[in-house]
Chain A
Amino acid sequence: MRDSLTVMSKELKRFWIDKKLLFTTILLPGIMIFAIYFIMGNVINDQVDEITQSTTTLYVENLPDSLNPLFDPALFQISSYEGQDPETLVNDSEGVILIFEAGFMEQLDAGGFPEVRLYYDGSNETSSEGGSRVRGILDGLRNQILAENYTDAERLVFAESITAYQDESEIFATIISSIVPLLIVIFIFAAALSIAPDIIAGEKERGTLATLLVTPISRSAFALGKILAITVISLASAFSSFIGVALSIPVLLQLESSGSVNVLDIYGLDGMVALLLVILSTTLIIVGVISVVSAYAKSIKEAASLASPLYLITIVVSALNLFSDGASNELLNAIPLYGSIQVINGVLAQNYTWTSVLIVMASSLLTTGLLAWTVKLMLSSERIVFQK
């Protein structure tokens, strides 16, 4: 036991004197988790507020005048329903259809059992919120009539037919746009992190970097060659992971027609091209950042250790998108990584513009250029190349 304690105390001392390791292992996780939950909490609250305060477009047929005051104009914008296909109408307008049987109030007064039909899009947050509001109003109406006219509290008063459309493609798009940007970034980062330290810091550790630097090749060409190699491998790895996710999500969500959910049908060729371009841009930034860290580090182990906090920061930025469907201001897409994730999210939620894609690409290429230039400067630094 004494020997074990001696060994343990030596390991703890080694951990304690390595301030970087101490920070990344002990302090950073707590700080990051607090930051993630703090930011996520605020984002969720903002989004809930936005939905609950939105106005529902309500298409009505045979709405009795006496019931009109139940629909607060601040929450409902009432239009008349003109016999359109209900599913198409609620899908396109994000609204709700409410159809009262002709002579609804008269039938109630006569002790009849009239019907009211409600249609909304269950896979759309705005329409779904509108449907809930209307159901709440109908419940209130039922209770009021029961209290005024009947002693049988179980009496149904009127028939309520509710149709909540569930568009599987929309559900697929909503869920995929929420989690896939996060997964893509994690996959790319993990892939880059598994190879970049070896490709750059490993050259230093093995003593092969100086061998290459005495050749006539320029530092810029050397840095670019390294970054391109890491990019290609990271992309291949991320692509493989992405395919796995895309294939497994329909099964995971147990969509009724999972076999027929075709990603190309949902997003179209232009959506897939936009997605590919933005993923490529994102990969370049991540690879650039890890390359800078790897060029600075003395060894593979140090590079991996230094990149860990960046990994966590990237995950936090990505996690913010779980509750977003694309940046509201296109200029925000110019923020490296944040913009990439916003646009990936937007493409997957089918809510993007080519301007935003181009902004992300331009911003990413510029950032990657700066990072490659930084790697070049670092490889020109005697202190960094020869540090032991």
Chain B
Amino acid sequence: MELRVENLKKTFKLSKKQQKINRTDLRVKHALKGISFTAYSGEIFGLLGPNGAGKTTAMRSISTLIKPDTGTITLGDFDALSESKRMRQSIAFLTNELKLEDYFSPNFLFAYFSKLYGVDEPTMKSRRDTLFKRFGIDRFAEVKVADLSSGMKQKTSIAMSLVHDPDVIIFDEPTNGLDVLTAKTVLDYLVELRETGKIIIISTHILSVVEKIVDRVGIIIQGEMKILESMDVIRRSDNYQDLETLFFELVEAEGHDA
């Protein structure tokens, strides 16, 4: 299976306030200017770029939270844009802006999200036991989210996003704000998921994470895909010194603040 993104374009109307913030007279912002890439089953695809480059817009488009102006997104044999419900059934999307309700416990939330995804009770219990044990959530399964540490919350969020055993996993900054041990747990789990044939897309500013687990990388700058290459090629190529140098060279060439 593969996730194919082709010629994705997205513009946003800018309010006067946004024009002021962006120091522009333009009434629209071209967040994506026709990006294309394919993510394959059994690989981790890294989406890199400075703030405002268009990574979040691309991930929101893939997860059907927003509609691109033009372009296609296909997963296997179906069109994700016209079959948004099926797409949502097939993906996990986790970003920093997606939060869990403070009033509820991980146990309750897992059952709640399972119902929303149409997961039956026995399957839900089996997945809950596996994921909770894997992330150590079983120790605080009945504690309200409000009383959890940020690491516990992140682990819980990851578990919630996987209740329906999705084919595609999109994580935006999966280790952001986590301590070293928790970050390692999360990254190890992503590697495990890759082994099971999942399509994994991560976006991160931590280039060491990319170096360590990502198979192929796409660097977006100002809405354009500047580099789309496998990490092996980047490591071996004479054209690129290393990922970090490459990234900063591209950013500076575009006059963008990293």
Contact = CB atoms under 8 A, between A and B. Distances in A.
Interface of A: 206-208, 210-218, 382-383, 385-386
B53 to A, nearest CB: 17
A214 B92 CA distance: 8
Given A214-B64, A214-B91, 8 more contacts: A206-B101, A207-B97, A208-B98, A210-B65, A210-B95, A214-B63, A214-B88, A386-B66
A217 B67 CA distance: 17
A217 B66 CA distance: 15
Given A216-B88, A216-B118, A218-B85, A210 B97 contact: yes
Nearest to A207: B99
B99 A211 contact: yes
Nearest to B92: A214
Contacts of A210: 65, 95, 97-98
Contact of B100 (A208, A215, A217, A386): A208
Given A210-B97, A382-B67, A215 B113 contact: yes
B117 interface: yes
A205 B115 CA distance: 24
Question: Main SS of the interface on chain A?
Answer: helix
B89 interface: yes
Interface string B77-101: 0000000011011010101011111
Contacts of A386: 60, 65-66
Q: Which 7 A-B pairs have the closest CB atoms?
A: A207-B99, A215-B116, A211-B98, A382-B66, A216-B88, A214-B93, A216-B89
B102 interface: yes
Contacts of A216: 85-86, 88-89, 116-118
Nearest to A212: B116
Interface in B38-95: 60, 63-67, 85-86, 88-89, 91, 93, 95
Contacts of A385: 65
Among A206, A207, A214, A216, max chain B CB count under 10 A is at A214
Contacts of A214: 63-65, 88, 91, 93, 98
Interface string B120-158: 000000000000000000000000000000000000000
Contacts of B102: 206
A213 B89 contact: no
A115 B89 CA distance: 91
A385 B60 CA distance: 12
A220 to B, nearest CB: 12
Contacts of A208: 98-101
18 contacts: A206-B101, A207-B97, A207-B98, A207-B99, A208-B99, A208-B100, A208-B101, A210-B97, A210-B98, A211-B98, A211-B99, A214-B64, A215-B88, A215-B117, A216-B88, A218-B85, A382-B66, A386-B60
